[in-house]
Amino acid sequence: MNFREILARRAALELNDGEYVNLGFGVPTAVSNYVPEGVEVILQSENGCLLFGPTPKLGEQDADVGNAGGQPITLQPGASIFDSGVSFTIIRGGHVDATFLGALEVDQNGNIANWALPLAPGRYSPGPGGAMDLVTGARKVVAMLQHVDKKGTSKIKKNCTLPLTGAGVVDVIITDQAVFHVNAAGLVLKEIMAGSTVEDIRKITEAEFTVADDVCEFRLS
């Protein structure tokens, strides 16, 4: 199981019956494939879709219907397709219960940076997209990312080093190693990947955190 599947499976457990949920660009788009049985959610894509489902089988895709990453999706009965103006009215109007966003960095203050990789002085890529609207308009923000970068440096920071998408907006952080909840006091470690210990997580985490009394093994189902 690769890190994308790990993140998507765990993130899907944050879904609650009846919610309107936005799945952002990148890894979060895969969450639609792991919605728990018995949970009905209305999935929304910022590019203009409401009430979609999992990735279709090869040969069954419709090139005119895609998620935030342009990947094919299935439409559920009653689904709607509309322009981005309507989509962002839904988001900015406070009609989204939760948004799942990929992140480059998050920190112990609930800040998230997910849009700007420096290319040159004053130049960043790929751009903010709809994330800034989502972290403001959604009632719950779930950040999904690998715990460390390719050099082994923690992406869970004391303070984000990249330009912020939103300040103090993250509620839950899901990595391929752990799950943190964010509250007024900072990060609380809630789940640890099987085979790891609290001290293992501390070694790969720059941010400070406390440990929940009910900390448990990382859940995938």
Query: Which residue shows structure tokens 């609650």?
Result: 16
Phi then psi dihedrals of residue 2, to 5 deg? -80, 170
Q: How far is CA 209 from the centre of its chain?
A: 20
Do the Cβ atoms of 10 and 174 come closer than 8 Å? yes
Strand partners, 217: 192
Max Cα separation, the chain?
50
User: Any catalytic annotation for residue 46?
Assistant: yes
Q: Is the preceding omega at residue 126 within 30 degrees of 0, hence cis? A: yes
Which one from 5, 14, 19, 46 is the annotated catalytic residue? 46
Count how many Cα atoms sit within 13 Å of the Cα of residue 131 in the half-sphere of its side chain: 28
Catalytic machinery residues: 46
